[in-house]
């Protein structure tokens, strides 16, 4: 086996070791920079893996420890997993850069080390949720990601973050409890924990028709559990408080990445473990599709009446996750591919919006009401441009990532050829209009002619982060062909 | 009717586990007291562990610890669920510890652990 195939494990290990070492670090600067370094290094290494594995055109099962397949633990990766890992690691690094000033402002110096531990653990758990081939490992890392995500919200010490965290925590625990019960049912039905063995045992069960009810119950519990954790409508109520009140970096990472980790795991469960036909046969496709629709519409309606910029962005995440669930709910290869592209596109766009709002609110004296941000773009032009590009991408303007994602979803529903096509297109159109209805006024408000400009200190870290994220949004909007090909190939190799 | 009763008795561990799980789930959703929510979460997790442990148990066999009996597989129960339960307990303990620490902090700040009162207090704070 080529040495490159050790890299996924190495990336996870790097983040976890950095986390452990940092728990003893005293200096806030040292811990912040080494966390940034770990994320950047993991992005580079995943990039190397991506290049190698695309050329080799294969998916690899990597045995962890000395026990071979049915007993031991495995991770499994192909082009798609490598692409997701590059995206997660680089967006984490860029969100840290973009929110650097806010983070040093919001988090006490003494606590910085611990906050950085949590950042590392979040990345480690995201990578594991992408790579893992073992459902129990997935459960353990879901809980690790729960704890670290909650700790990231509460890193900014205030009354509202405390309340937001406790609600987030209990909702997440409910979700992981359901997921755990679901996988225990699967284990008792099949006797396996590794996904390929589990999958062949389940397909036998599907053919023979035995144990249909427990199988459907466990699939439903897994879907509901992961749905709660990735803010599927109607389980989204915790999200705006948690994402709206945290510090900039935390909001960007929680909204852009953490929610996606669970969605990616759900996709892996559907494609690798249950197979799409089985999901359809067990009657899970339609509910997921409908909840996706509702999320897209209701999330946007809530965002429409919100006056707090970050809470507006958080509600918009509910709508954007609705797109992902809609793609999954179509239960076709094309739908899943479109959902993954939407995950990538949103992972670049939403952090860009969050760090731009963070910078803009710096110009408005750390106020985050939209009324206070009026005209602030003139004091921080780059943040204004970043917000503009992010907002236009969310609405779905061509040449930007959001447009390509919507195009992918629409064409996935057309090639499907079922009755749902019309409904999908209609809901896509309505939700795009709703998106425009709250993003355009916000955009106009921040670019309103301002009488006086606030002189802001230069922030090179923010500039670097924002420019790189803008580049990401443009690349996924214009040169999307390689990414879509990688995703399609990755799904075939799943 | 007797069929049903026999089935329930045969699957008594699974039935108990499901009942406990539902009790935990309902309390977790409806309970206004934060500490009781943590207790409910622990009930929910314990139900899952009961389910797992009972699936791996075989009547008349012993725990998979090598003794003078030698490595004869037919003497032992399935050890994997036990390993999973252990891991699960570790996870649930750490999550409980985290939530209790958080609740302690909330109590120090607001002097109550009732969700309704807390929401009222935080609303006032914002105004």
Residue A224: which pLDDT band, with cuts at 50, 70 and 90?
very high
Mean pLDDT of B113-126: 83
Q: Do A180 and B87 make contact, defined as CB atoms within 8 angstroms? A: no
Residue A234, SS3 per DSSP: coil
Alpha-carbon span A318 to A223, nearest angstrom: 17
Q: Using CB atoms, which residue from A143, A154, A184 is nearest to B91?
A: A143
pLDDT at A124 over 80: yes
Dihedral angle computed from the Cα positions of residues A79, A84, A90 and A96, in that order, rounded to the nearest 10 degrees: -170
Q: Are A78 and A53 in contact (CB under 8 A)?
A: yes
Please indicate if any CB of chain B lies within 8 Å of the CB of A189.
Answer: no
Residue A51, SS3 per DSSP: helix
Q: Using CB atoms, which residue from A174, A184, A193 is nearest to B51?
A: A184
Residue A374: which pLDDT band, with cuts at 50, 70 and 90?
confident
Q: Do A177 and B37 make contact, defined as CB atoms within 8 angstroms? A: no
Residue A334, SS3 per DSSP: helix
User: A367 exposed, middle or buried (CB, 10 Å; 0-12, 13-18, 19+)?
Assistant: middle
Q: Are A77 and A62 in contact (CB under 8 A)?
A: yes
- DSSP strand E in A45-176: where? 60-64, 73-77
Q: Do B125 and A170 make contact, defined as CB atoms within 8 angstroms? A: no
Q: Are A88 and A122 in contact (CB under 8 A)?
A: no
Residues of B in contact with A147 (CB under 8 A): 94-95, 98
User: In the prediction, which pLDDT does A370 show?
Assistant: 84
Residues of A in contact with B91 (CB under 8 A): 139-140, 143
Q: Do A139 and B91 make contact, defined as CB atoms within 8 angstroms? A: yes
Mean pLDDT of A245-266: 93
Alpha-carbon span A441 to A438, nearest angstrom: 6
| Closest-CA residue of chain B to A146 | B95
Q: Using CB atoms, which residue from B34, B44, B88 is nearest to A166?
A: B34
User: In the prediction, which pLDDT does B89 show?
Assistant: 94
User: In the prediction, which pLDDT does A46 show?
Assistant: 96
Q: Which two tokens stand for residue A24?
A: 């003893």
Measured CA to CA in angstroms, residue A254 lies from A242, A415, B56 at distances of 9, 33, 38
User: In the prediction, which pLDDT does A477 show?
Assistant: 92
If you search the block for the tokens 């919507």, which residue do you land on? A406
Q: Which of A121, A142, A166 to mutate to test the interface with B (most CBs of B within 10 A)?
A: A166
What DSSP character marks residue A377? G
pLDDT at A19 over 80: yes
User: In the prediction, which pLDDT does A67 show?
Assistant: 82
pLDDT at A258 over 80: yes
**Backbone φ and ψ of A77, nearest 5°:** -145, 145
Q: Do A169 and B106 make contact, defined as CB atoms within 8 angstroms? A: no
Please indicate if any CB of chain B lies within 8 Å of the CB of A430.
Answer: no
pLDDT at A303 over 80: yes
Q: Using CB atoms, which residue from B44, B84, B119 is nearest to A177?
A: B44
Residues ≥6 apart with Cβ < 8 Å to A488: A333, A337
User: In the prediction, which pLDDT does A418 show?
Assistant: 66
Q: How many CB atoms lie within 10 A of CB B120?
A: 13
Alpha-carbon span A386 to A439, nearest angstrom: 13
User: In the prediction, which pLDDT does A68 show?
Assistant: 80
Query: Residues of chain A with pLDDT > 90: what percent?
Result: 68
Please indicate if any CB of chain B lies within 8 Å of the CB of A67.
Answer: no
Residues of B in contact with A184 (CB under 8 A): 48, 51-52, 55
ipTM of the complex: 0.93
Q: Are B63 and B77 in contact (CB under 8 A)?
A: yes
Residues of B in contact with A187 (CB under 8 A): 52, 55, 81, 84
CATH 3.40.718.10 fits domain B2-116: no
Mean pLDDT of B71-79: 77
What DSSP character marks residue A63? E
Q: Using CB atoms, which residue from B21, B95, B103 is nearest to A181?
A: B21
Q: Are A44 and A142 in contact (CB under 8 A)?
A: no
Kindly report the average pLDDT of chain A as a whole number.
91
Dihedral angle computed from the Cα positions of residues B41, B42, B44 and B46, in that order, rounded to the nearest 10 degrees: 170
Q: How many CB atoms lie within 10 A of CB A377?
A: 25
User: In the prediction, which pLDDT does B48 show?
Assistant: 93
Q: Using CB atoms, which residue from B41, B95, B118 is nearest to A163?
A: B118
Q: Which of A180, A229, A240, A308 to mutate to test the interface with B (most CBs of B within 10 A)?
A: A180
pLDDT at A367 over 60: yes
Residue B63: which pLDDT band, with cuts at 50, 70 and 90?
confident
CA dihedral over A212, A215, A219, A221, signed as positive or negative: positive
**Backbone φ and ψ of B59, nearest 5°:** -50, 130
User: In the prediction, which pLDDT does B16 show?
Assistant: 93
Q: How many CB atoms lie within 10 A of CB A354?
A: 34
pLDDT at A53 over 90: yes
Helices and strands counted in chain A (H then E): 21, 2
If you search the block for the tokens 């490595």, which residue do you land on? B71
Q: Burial letters for A31-66: b for 16+ Cβ neighbours within 10 Å, e otherwise?
A: bbebbbebbbbbbbbbbebbeebbeeeebbebeeee
Q: Do B91 and A174 make contact, defined as CB atoms within 8 angstroms? A: no
Measured CA to CA in angstroms, residue A482 lies from A323, A490, B17 at distances of 22, 12, 49
| Closest-CA residue of chain B to A235 | B29
Residues of B in contact with A159 (CB under 8 A): 109-110, 122, 125
Q: Do B125 and A162 make contact, defined as CB atoms within 8 angstroms? A: no
State the Cα angle at A12 between A494 and A241, rounded to 5°.
Answer: 90
Q: Using CB atoms, which residue from B41, B94, B119 is nearest to A177?
A: B41
Residue A35: which pLDDT band, with cuts at 50, 70 and 90?
very high
**Backbone φ and ψ of A74, nearest 5°:** -135, 155
Q: Are A186 and A278 in contact (CB under 8 A)?
A: no
Q: Using CB atoms, which residue from A160, A165, A188 is nearest to B102?
A: A165
Q: How many CB atoms lie within 10 A of CB A149?
A: 27
Residues of A in contact with B98 (CB under 8 A): 147, 150-151, 169
Residue A134, SS3 per DSSP: strand
Q: Are A160 and B122 in contact (CB under 8 A)?
A: yes
What pLDDT, in 10s, does the model give residues A306-359? 889 999 999 999 999 999 999 999 888 999 999 999 999 999 999 999 999 999
Please indicate if any CB of chain B lies within 8 Å of the CB of A131.
Answer: no
pLDDT at A97 over 90: yes
What pLDDT, in 10s, does the model give residues A184-200? 999 988 888 999 999 99
Count how many Cα atoms sit within 13 Å of the Cα of residue A204 in the half-sphere of its side chain: 8
pLDDT at A416 over 70: no
Residues of B in contact with A180 (CB under 8 A): 45, 48, 88
Measured CA to CA in angstroms, residue A37 lies from A7, A23, A90, A250, A412 at distances of 16, 16, 11, 17, 38
Residues of A in contact with B102 (CB under 8 A): 150, 154, 162, 165-166, 169
Residue A181 to chain B, least CA–CA distance (Å): 6
**DSSP alpha helix (H) spans, A23-99:** 28-56, 79-98
If you search the block for the tokens 């040495």, which residue do you land on? A3
Q: Which two tokens stand for residue A233?
A: 């409508």
Q: Which residues, listed in sequence order, are joined to residue A60 by a DSSP beta bridge? A: A77
Q: Are A222 and A182 in contact (CB under 8 A)?
A: yes
User: In the prediction, which pLDDT does B126 show?
Assistant: 63
pLDDT at A220 over 70: yes
pLDDT at B68 over 70: no
Q: Which two tokens stand for residue A256?
A: 């852009």
| Closest-CA residue of chain B to A181 | B48
- Integer-rounded Cα Rg, in Å, for chain B is 21
pLDDT at B69 over 70: no
Mean pLDDT of A150-173: 89
Q: Do B94 and A184 make contact, defined as CB atoms within 8 angstroms? A: no
Q: What do you get for the CA distance between the two ends of chain A, in Å?
A: 19
């Amino acid at each position: 086996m080529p040495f490159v195939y050790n890299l996924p494990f190495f990336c996870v290990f790097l983040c976890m070791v950095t986390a452990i070492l940092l728990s003893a670090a005293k200096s806030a600067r040292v811990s912040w920079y080494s966390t940034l370094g770990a994320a950047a290094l993991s992005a580079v290494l995943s990039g190397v893996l991506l290049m190698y594995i695309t050329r080799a055109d294969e998916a690899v099962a990597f045995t962890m420890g000395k026990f071979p397949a049915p007993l031991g633990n495995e991770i499994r990766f192909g082009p798609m997993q490598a692409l997701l890992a590059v995206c997660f690691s680089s967006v984490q690094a860029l969100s840290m850069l973009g929110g650097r000033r806010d983070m040093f402002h919001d988090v006490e110096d003494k606590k910085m080390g611990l906050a950085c531990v949590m950042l590392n653990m979040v990345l480690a758990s995201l990578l594991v949720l992408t790579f893992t081939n073992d459902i129990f490992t997935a459960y353990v890392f879901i809980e690790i990601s729960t704890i670290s995500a909650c700790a990231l919200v509460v890193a900014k010490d205030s009354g509202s973050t405390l309340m937001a965290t406790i609600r987030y925590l209990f909702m997440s625990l409910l979700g992981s409890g359901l997921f755990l019960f679901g996988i225990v049912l699967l284990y008792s039905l099949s006797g396996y924990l590794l996904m390929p063995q589990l999958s062949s045992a389940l397909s036998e069960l599907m053919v023979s028709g035995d144990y249909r009810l427990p199988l459907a119950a466990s699939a439903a519990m897994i879907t509901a559990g992961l749905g709660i954790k990735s803010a599927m409508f109607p389980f989204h109520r915790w999200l705006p408080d948690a994402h709206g009140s945290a510090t900039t970096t935390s909001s960007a990472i929680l909204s852009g990445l953490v929610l996606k980790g669970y969605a990616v795991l759900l996709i892996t469960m559907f494609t690798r473990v249950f197979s799409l036909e089985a999901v359809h046969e067990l009657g899970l496709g339609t509910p997921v599709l409908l909840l996706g629709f509702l999320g897209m519409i209701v999330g946007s309606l809530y965002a429409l009446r919100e006056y707090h910029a970050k809470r507006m962005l958080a509600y918009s995440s509910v709508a954007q996750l609705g797109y992902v669930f809609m793609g999954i709910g179509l239960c076709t290869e094309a739908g899943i591919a479109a959902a993954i592209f939407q995950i990538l596109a949103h992972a670049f766009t939403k952090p860009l919006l969050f760090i731009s709002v963070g910078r803009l609110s710096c110009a408005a004296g750390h106020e985050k009401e939209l009324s206070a941000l009026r005209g602030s773009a003139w004091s921080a032009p780059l943040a204004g441009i970043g917000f503009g590009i992010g907002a236009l991408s969310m609405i779905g303007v061509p040449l930007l990532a959001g447009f390509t994602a919507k195009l992918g979803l629409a064409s996935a529903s057309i090639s499907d050829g079922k009755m749902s096509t019309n409904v999908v297109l209609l809901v896509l159109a309505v939700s795009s209009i709703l998106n425009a209805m709250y993003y355009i006024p916000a955009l106009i408000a921040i670019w309103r002619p301002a009488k006086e400009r606030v002189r802001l200190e230069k922030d090179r870290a923010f500039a670097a982060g924002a420019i790189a994220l803008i580049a990401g949004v443009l690349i996924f909007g214009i040169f999307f062909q390689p990414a879509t090909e990688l995703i399609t190939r990755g799904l075939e190799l799943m | 009717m007797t069929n049903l009763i026999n089935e329930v008795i045969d699957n008594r561990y699974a039935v108990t586990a499901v009942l406990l799980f539902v009790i935990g789930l309902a309390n977790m959703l409806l309970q206004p007291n934060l500490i009781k929510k943590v207790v409910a979460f622990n009930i929910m997790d314990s139900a899952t562990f009961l389910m797992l442990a009972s699936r791996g148990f075989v009547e008349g066999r012993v725990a998979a610890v090598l003794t003078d009996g030698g490595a004869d597989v037919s003497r032992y129960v399935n050890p994997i669920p036990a390993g999973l339960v252990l891991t699960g307990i570790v996870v649930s303990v750490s999550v409980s510890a985290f939530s209790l620490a958080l609740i302690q902090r909330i109590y120090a700040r607001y002097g109550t652990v009732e969700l309704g009162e807390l929401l009222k207090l935080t609303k006032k704070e914002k105004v």
